[in-house]
């Protein structure tokens, strides 16, 4: 059997190996002793300091990771890594609660039933205008005057001719009476009496003609004065001082109407209703009227008349809607209006309620037990909690959280969450 002999390494070889491992440069192994193997306390502290720093930074890194996980949990990992969702927007609008009882809606315009384009019967230069837009006038009040110098001259001439005829008639009357007395005395003939009578009759006719001329001149003079035909409000001013006014505006620079006048107490809404729906409407049926200029206010109305003819080009019938309880100064001619025709049984209880803010039913979603809508901000869907109310034919009342005019996402799906990336189409 072979004998294995283990040789004990020398001290110098051990020192050499340790210096190689620890990188001790310049150490001469041949002069090394065991005392060089002692561990320096300062060296030990320096060697352990990085480990201490690493052990101190570990909790910080852990906290950062936990915060990131919490943030991503709040935002939703689908909102961060999901695809861009195409959406459509719609504005929250005001709607009348009476639409729950509506049987038909129609659009129209406010029209004054008593309206006139006031013009002159004479042609002439306008020298005076006494009104402006918005002025209230009474029947017979002078609105404007035309130049009347020529008419006044004709009137003076007619009056002078009448005065001459009256003077001649007095002389002719005296001559006729004298001829009759002479005939009684037998000093003249019947021919003389007939001549005197004929002269007097011609003068009487001349007087009548003179009076007619004076009357005509006065009428012509009155035609130069433009008066209000009824009590009303001046809507527009169509001519000004210095312009030629003519009854039919024959000239290129002539004006036919001086002002447009309307009786604002005769306002009604004229709406076009389709021929296929006209049978749903009856006289005196209740209505709600809302102006486009002020949709928050609802006016109670009724069907005043149905025009007994249809518009061939539009296939509609005109319906005139009156204001049941009057209206205020905010209602003006030619304003756009929306008319809601109501069921008679529901008219009383809904006509007093004001308009409310509504959005489509599909724009409202339930998130964590709350009703919410979504708006778009910087390409992301933002969740807004809302308080809902009544429903109106596909629309829901929003009592709090959204105001009229705010734009929200029209249709909210399950994949749409807070922070989701969206693209408005």
| Burial of 289 per CB tally in 10 Å (0-12, 13-18, 19+) | buried
How remote is the C-alpha of 290 from its chain's centroid? 11
pLDDT for the residue numbered 73: 55
pLDDT tens for 18-71 read 444 444 344 444 444 444 445 454 444 444 444 444 455 676 777 777 666 555
Return the beta strands (E) in 168-293 as ranges.
225-227, 232-237, 244-245, 257-262, 267-274, 286-291
The rounded distance, in Å, linking the Cα atoms of 342 and 299 is 13
Residue 353: DSSP 8-state:
S
The rounded distance, in Å, linking the Cα atoms of 411 and 416 is 10
Could you tell me the pLDDT band of residue 234, with boundaries at 50, 70 and 90? very high
How remote is the C-alpha of 331 from its chain's centroid? 13
Three-state DSSP at 368 gives: coil
Q: Which domains does the chain have, with CATH numbers?
A: 83-96+355-424 (2.40.420.20), 99-114+263-350 (2.40.30.170), 118-138+229-258 (no CATH), 148-223 (1.10.287)
pLDDT tens for 309-357 read 999 999 999 999 999 888 888 899 999 999 989 877 655 454 456 678 8
* 118 CB neighbour count, 10 Å cutoff: 21
pLDDT for the residue numbered 95: 75
| Burial of 98 per CB tally in 10 Å (0-12, 13-18, 19+) | buried
């Amino acid at each position: 059997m072979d004998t294995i002999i283990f040789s004990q390494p020398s001290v110098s070889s051990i020192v050499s190996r340790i210096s190689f491992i620890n990188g001790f440069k310049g150490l001469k192994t041949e002069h090394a002793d065991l005392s060089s193997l002692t561990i320096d306390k300062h060296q030990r502290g320096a060697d352990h300091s990085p480990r201490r720093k690493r052990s101190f930074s570990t909790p910080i890194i852990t906290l950062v990771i936990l915060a990131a996980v919490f943030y991503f949990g709040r935002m939703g990992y689908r909102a961060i890594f999901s695809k861009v969702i195409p959406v459509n927007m719609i504005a929250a609008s005001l709607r009348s609660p009476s639409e729950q009882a509506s049987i038909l809606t129609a659009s129209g315009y406010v029209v004054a039933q008593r309206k006139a384009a006031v013009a002159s019967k004479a042609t002439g230069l306008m020298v005076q205008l006494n009104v402006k837009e918005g002025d209230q006038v009474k029947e017979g009040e002078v609105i404007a005057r035309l130049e009347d110098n020529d008419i006044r001259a004709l009137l003076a001439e007619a009056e002078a001719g009448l005065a001459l005829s009256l003077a001649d008639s007095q002389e002719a009357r005296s001559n006729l009476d004298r001829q009759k007395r002479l005939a009684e005395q037998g000093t003249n003939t019947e021919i003389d009496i007939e001549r005197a009578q004929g002269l007097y009759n011609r003068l009487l006719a001349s007087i009548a003609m003179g009076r007619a001329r004076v009357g005509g001149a006065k009428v012509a003079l009155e035609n130069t004065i433009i008066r209000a035909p009824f009590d009303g409000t001046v809507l527009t001013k169509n001519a000004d001082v210095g312009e030629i006014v003519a009854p039919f505006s024959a000239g290129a620079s002539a004006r036919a109407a001086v002002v447009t006048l309307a009786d604002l107490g005769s306002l009604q809404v004229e709406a076009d209703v389709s021929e296929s729906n006209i049978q749903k409407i009856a006289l005196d049926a209740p209505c709600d009227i809302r102006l486009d200029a002020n949709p928050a206010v609802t006016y109670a109305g009724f069907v005043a008349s149905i025009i007994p003819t249809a518009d061939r080009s539009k296939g509609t019938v005109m319906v005139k809607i009156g204001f049941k309880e009057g209206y205020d100064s905010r209602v003006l001619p030619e304003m756009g209006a929306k008319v809601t025709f109501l069921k008679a049984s529901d008219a009383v209880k809904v006509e007093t309620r004001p308009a409310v803010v509504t959005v489509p039913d599909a724009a409202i979603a339930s998130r964590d037990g709350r009703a919410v809508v979504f708006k778009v901000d910087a390409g992301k869907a933002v969740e807004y909690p809302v308080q809902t109310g009544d429903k109106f034919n596909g629309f829901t009342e929003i009592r709090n959280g959204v105001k009229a005019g705010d734009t929200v996402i029209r249709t909210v799906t399950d994949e749409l969450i807070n922070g989701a990336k969206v693209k408005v189409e």
